[in-house]
Structure 1
Amino acid sequence: MSLYSNESGRGELPIGRRVAQWRVRRRLTQQVFADRLGKSKSWVDKVERGVRALDRYSVIEEIAEVLRVDAVVLLGRDAAMVSVSSIGSGLDGVERLHAALTSYEVFRTGAEPVPVPPAELDRHVGHAVLTYQHAHYALLVRTLPGLLDAARRLHRVDPARGAELLVRSYRIVSLSAVKLGEPELAWLAADRAVAVAGTDPGLAATAVVPLAQALRASGRDRLAWTATVAVACRSEIGGSVAGALLVQAGLAAAGCGDRRAVTELLDQAAATLVGGHGRRIDVGPVEVEVARVVAVAVLGDAGRRYTGTNRWSGGTGGGDYRPSTGARTCSTSRGHTSRSGTRWERGEC
């Protein structure tokens, strides 16, 4: 039995089926997927049908890179069999994250622990952001349940100072869940962040970015497109937050197959960032250009080649999969608004 063949009788999908599901989700044909791996279409077909075993971890990592998921997502619970301790730990952490997000404060009993001081909790959240940036997901998911608990505790006793820290905590949970292939968990965390932000539009906008990522990861590109554009078009949302929202809108438009909207939205994202400033800026021109390249990959073999000059070459007109009228793009005239003191962190988008 192959180490990764999943013949343990636990009812999980074999790894080949998981590869096929993610390939379809990324809108890649077997031929395009094979070309990106440097393999034949026949090889891909045999892997997906389980005829050919994936018995080398290095090959699984290559497949995961092309599919833009973590290798642990493809391995599923079989990851516990791999001699890479961080993967097994990561899976345990995912279960703890599920438990943390489904626990409700109203049912707690016993003495209330002393809240962590805001400055100390801020340092803990910052450390979680750095851990996420360095892709140490196994370590991150082990620490996030405790971070969420501390942030909730502070928010209960000091809502004014605790709201922002709790929103940031939920955001990092959502972003990490996307990386680990748990879009529904990511959606739940991001939705909690939006709810905590309440009537603060700036804080709520920062939560919509991971919400859009969760929606896109679960195949709901149209919802992600509509939500991000609706928020980014608000006059009080500017600078890097609006730029991050428009980047997500552009990627969602790519998922919907609308190349014209991709160009418009990413151009608006670039324009929004001109003159945008703040204590910490998370999105800049480089990230917008990277998003253009990612959009090409999302469009797959039907996509056009991006020339690097805000134009597409080859192919024909864009798709007809669009949000409702008025929600498609923002006016570029508001693209130069800035918002100092942004709550958004570098690297959390």
Structure 2
Amino acid sequence: MMLRNKKKAGNYLKKALSFMRKYKIGPHTLVLKGLLGKIVNIPQEFLCSVSLRLLHLIIKAKNTMKVSDYQKIIKFAKRKGVLGIFHRWILFFPEIVLNVIKKGKKTELPKKILKSPIFNKEIIVYHIKFLGNLLVYKNQQLLKIDLTPQEEAFLTKIALQMSEPGKSILVEELYENFWPKSKNPYDRLFHLLTTIKKKIILPKHLIGVSSKYGEIRLFNYGIYFTTDQEEFEQTLARAKAMEQLGKWKLACKEYLQGFNLFRDAPFKKNFDRWSLDTRFKLLTKLETETISFVQSCFKNGDVEIAKKVLIKVSKILPHSQEVKNLLKVISNKKSKI
């Protein structure tokens, strides 16, 4: 079947069906009709045939869209030794497989089949907000899930480093960061991946471990990640560009939008090396950008706006002496008025 051109594949089948009708080839005609969706049931007298019985089960699963009916097909195909036929025929009924994936159940199909375009029409995008308590969105829908601190850090790390299909991370890097003293880090990685995939309703075949060029890596096979860190950096970049063009009011709005993305310090309960480094870098950037913004506010006479941002940031960076000093400067300016 031509996976990228279902219409063309259907035309080939219709030609074959016409030929079989002409020469009265009965059971094979039923197969083609079934694959083309032109029959809803296989006649009882033909169910003694293993292949037609298989097709009967597939058509039933398509009609009911029940996972249990799909599982019956798998059991039958294994028992009768017709998995190869099933793998070819199921390509004509992608909606059955997509329904199983959507419900978070195993398809038991080979990864090569699952990676075919016919099963990956819908682009899956996860938006991870970690500049504060972790929030996970799947295709713009907030997921009501509860992740452990380690799961939060792991998910954020792959979102940042495996943001699109084709990107990967060395498995050794994950071992060293999350399980530096473990004797069986692979088992821990496998367990963590399985748990996260289940919680965020991620199709199992879209992230997996593979060996390439002698390196074992974790690969992204077909999803997209975005984060609020990217939003923060892009928003501030736009603000600076506007400020340089002399459009302070527009720049100020962009700055405020960027600072609002920072809800709290990330990874408060995490103490692995990557989480600590990431938190330090992000909080350092927040402090630096805040100081720069406040200085621009002073130049443009927006002291009240500067004060609001400093108060917000002081809650995230309670030990920042620079932020405290700037708040004192504003307080002194007010007392002189």
Structure with more of its chain in strand, by fraction:
2
Q: Is the TM value for this pair above 0.5? A: no
Q: TM-score range by the shorter chain?
A: under 0.3
Larger Rg: 2
